Amino acid sequence: MTDRILTVRMEAHPADSNTLDRYEATGGYATLRKALVEMSPEQIRDEVKAANLRGRGGAGFPAGVKWGFLAPAEPRYLVINADESEPGTFKDRQLLERDPHQLIEGIVLSSYALGVNHAFIYIRGEYARPARRVQRAVEEAYDAGYLGENILDSGLALDVMVHLGAGAYICGEETALLNSLEGRRGEPRLKPPFPAVEGLYAKPTIVNNVETISNIPWIIANGGSAYDAIGPEGSRGTRIFSLSGHVARPGNYEVVMGMTWREMIYQIGGGIRDGNELKCWIPGGASAPWFTPAVLDEPVTLDDAGRLGSMLGSGGIVVMDETTDVVAAALSIVKFFAHESCGQCTPCREGATWLERILQRIVTGHGREADIGLLLDVCDNISPGLRWPPAQTTICPLGPSLVSPITSIMTHFRSEVEAMIRHAEPAGV
């Protein structure tokens, strides 16, 4: 049974897994060579659909289904979302730095399947080193005939460009990313129309995450049904989780989903640092509501995380131990979203600022008794009902994301917030 797909090469060949020579020597581009001769674009699309590969960027939408929405108009574009910015997440960085050709082969296969002749890799500006590695790999691929005018004499033409972002989390939202790539402010667009119908330059566009597309070579080599045989239903294939925070062994771990959270944190992550007790964790990036030890024996799958009121999101697991000031932790996350709010929608723009200020005064010992109700009221204006999955009054899900840390501390650690307020200085600001 396959338990690793994406990280095999980099583990076996740490010194040069990013080079074309190593990629070819370990079977790379053989799938492309074969597929361009033996498979039709439709057959590739069918394999990806059969794989039940769910997007690895955060939303978890089935990639094959997304591809199916692509409108017939031309030209069409493929855009790889390498704007990895969700706090707690650093898996795409590793895929970009350590195995860029795996991504490029995935891009060529996908472009062939989708009738695309121009693909972009949108890499966040702070990822200079990963961007250099990808750029070099793209140049190697051009030189070797895997990109360009007439790829491997198949008649397929594909140009790939690396585009650097410039420091804006919101550009990870696919329509904001497209605006950014068009040379605009990275503000999310109202949907519909979805990018598959009107995306980049108002042309049909597929936006997929780095990890999603890095899986395509394996899926085409081994078949969609082989991928669909890995892992539990609804969470097929392997997945890279980024473990960070107070865990003994932080890092990226490619695993088959379905193990329990206890195994994830205590076996894979090596338990809590310094022998401390686990207090809580964020299961899928800073946008996700937090889990507590009560769910340690629940399985790590997309659907189970959803059932329990959160999500696997971007795969970023942030572990907090007993020493954690959870109010300060929530403030850190709210501060992040307040900084990254694009400012288009009032509930998010104003709400984020107010939530940050209220939490700030609680943390600095100036909280007021009414602050708990006020926090929840502001949250309710951003995400009415405070339910999961969240309702939203905003164009994109950034608004509800900043509600998650607050409802998390109010649900699980309300007494700590209350105690902080009770011991506050009376002359609060």
Partner 1 sequence: MSWPDDVVERAEVMVAKYPESRSAVMPLLYLAMREDKGLTLDGMRQVADYTGLTPVQVESVASFYSMYKRDSVGDYIVSVCTSISCHLLGGDEVLEAVAEETGVPPGETGSDGRLSVEGVECIGACGGAPAVQVNYELVEGVTPDSARRLCRWLADDQPVVISSDQMQADFGGIRSFEWGPAEPGGATGPVPAFGPLGTEGQRS
Binding mask 2-41 for partner 1 (x = CB under 8 A): --------x---xxxxx-----------------------
User: Does the footprint of partner 1 cover residue 344 (CB under 8 A)?
Assistant: no
Helix, strand, coil share (%) of the chain residues, nearest 5: 45, 15, 40
Q: Report the distance separating Cα 177 and Cα 78, nearest Å.
A: 12
Least Å distance, CB 68 to partner 1, is: 24
Using the rule CB under 8 A, which residue among 72, 155, 183, 192 binds partner 1? 183
User: Does the footprint of partner 1 cover residue 118 (CB under 8 A)?
Assistant: yes
Cα 35 versus chain centre, distance: 28
Using the rule CB under 8 A, which residue among 8, 157, 328, 391 binds partner 1? 328
User: Does the footprint of partner 1 cover residue 329 (CB under 8 A)?
Assistant: yes
Look up residue 374 and give its two tokens: 């006020």
User: Does the footprint of partner 1 cover residue 182 (CB under 8 A)?
Assistant: yes
Using the rule CB under 8 A, which residue among 67, 112, 127, 146 binds partner 1? 127
Nearer to partner 1, 37 or 161 (CB): 161
Spell out the residues 6+ positions from residue 102 whose beta carbon is closer than 8 angstroms to its own: 6, 9, 23, 28, 95, 214, 217
Span of 52-60, 65-73, 78-86, 407-415 interacting with partner 1 by CB under 8 A:
78-86
For 377-389, b/e burial (b = at least 16 CB within 10 A) is ebbbbbbeebebe
Span of 32-40, 185-193, 391-399, 407-415 interacting with partner 1 by CB under 8 A:
185-193
Least Å distance, CB 164 to partner 1, is: 6
User: Does the footprint of partner 1 cover residue 320 (CB under 8 A)?
Assistant: yes
User: Does the footprint of partner 1 cover residue 339 (CB under 8 A)?
Assistant: yes
Least Å distance, CB 353 to partner 1, is: 15
Using the rule CB under 8 A, which residue among 125, 145, 223, 384 binds partner 1? 125
**Residue 121 burial by Cβ neighbours in a 10 Å radius (0-12, 13-18, 19+):** buried
Look-up of token digits 């204006």: 381
Q: Report the distance separating Cα 241 and Cα 252, nearest Å.
A: 6
Binding mask 145-174 for partner 1 (x = CB under 8 A): ----------------xxxxxxxxx-----
Using the rule CB under 8 A, which residue among 55, 58, 60, 88 binds partner 1? 88
Span of 122-130, 146-154, 355-363, 371-379 interacting with partner 1 by CB under 8 A:
122-130
User: Does the footprint of partner 1 cover residue 386 (CB under 8 A)?
Assistant: no
Phi, psi of 284 (to 5 degrees): -155, 50
Q: Report the distance separating Cα 122 and Cα 81, nearest Å.
A: 6
Q: What is the DSSP string of 231-249?
A: SSTTS-SEEEEEEEESBSS
User: Does the footprint of partner 1 cover residue 381 (CB under 8 A)?
Assistant: no
User: Does the footprint of partner 1 cover residue 396 (CB under 8 A)?
Assistant: no
User: Does the footprint of partner 1 cover residue 75 (CB under 8 A)?
Assistant: yes
User: Does the footprint of partner 1 cover residue 124 (CB under 8 A)?
Assistant: yes
Let me know: does 126 contact 167? Beta carbons within 8 Å.
Answer: yes
Q: Report the distance separating Cα 97 and Cα 81, nearest Å.
A: 15
Least Å distance, CB 42 to partner 1, is: 26
Report the site for partner 1 in 223-282 (rule: CB under 8 A). Answer: 242-246, 250-252, 282
Measuring CA to CA, which residue among 235, 256, 252 is closest to residue 244? 252
Rg over CA atoms, the chain: 22
Look-up of token digits 């509800």: 400
User: Does the footprint of partner 1 cover residue 398 (CB under 8 A)?
Assistant: no
Least Å distance, CB 265 to partner 1, is: 14
Count of residues that bind partner 1 according to CB under 8 A: 70
Spell out the residues 6+ positions from residue 405 whose beta carbon is closer than 8 angstroms to its own: 286, 290, 329, 330, 333, 334
Nearer to partner 1, 278 or 342 (CB): 342
What secondary structure letter does DSSP report for 61? -
| CA distance from start to end of the chain | 60
Using the rule CB under 8 A, which residue among 180, 209, 235, 404 binds partner 1? 180
Span of 52-60, 124-132, 212-220, 369-377 interacting with partner 1 by CB under 8 A:
124-132
Query: Cis omega before residue 87 (within 30°)?
Result: no
Cα atoms in the 13 Å half-sphere on the side-chain side of 216: 34
Footprint of partner 1 (CB under 8 A)? 10, 14-18, 75, 84-90, 92-94, 97-98, 118, 124-129, 131-132, 135-136, 161-169, 180-187, 201, 242-246, 250-252, 282, 286, 316, 318, 320, 324, 328-329, 332-333, 336, 339-340, 342
